[in-house]
Amino acid sequence: MFEKLAAGLLIVILGFVFFMVVSLIAAIPTYFLWNWLMPEIFAIKAITFWQAWGVNFLTATLFKNSSYSSKSKG
């Protein structure tokens, strides 16, 4: 019983760590592209890495695809 609980908890923790690593890696292009393009084009100030991570999180939350395909068979 305890082994199953420990294994499940380990999977949840590893899943969370994996999600965090992937999301932090995904923020790197946003950080560099924002700081390269936005100050030159729109005169917007540069952002920090954590702000880039927040922008990625915000856009993923706002623009995620939550609709299901309604293709019917036949």
More confident call, 30 vs 69: 30
pLDDT of residue 2 exceeding 60, the answer is yes
d(CA 72, CA 8): 37
36 in a domain, yes or no? yes
Expressed as residue numbers, the domain containing 23 is 2-60
Residue 56 falls inside a structural domain: yes
31 close to 52: Cβ distance less than 8 angstroms: yes
Its pTM stands at: 0.68
**69 located within any domain:** no
Confidence of residue 72 (pLDDT cuts 50, 70, 90): low
Percent of the chain with pLDDT strictly greater than 90: 70
Rounded CA gap, 74 and 69, in Å? 15
In a domain, 26, yes or no: yes
Residue 67 in any domain: the answer is no
Q: Where are the alpha helices (DSSP H) in 1-74?
A: 2-42, 49-63
Question: Tokens representing 27?
Answer: 């923020």
Domain count within the chain: 1
Per-residue pLDDT of 7-40, as tens digits, reads 999 999 999 999 999 999 999 999 999 999 999 9
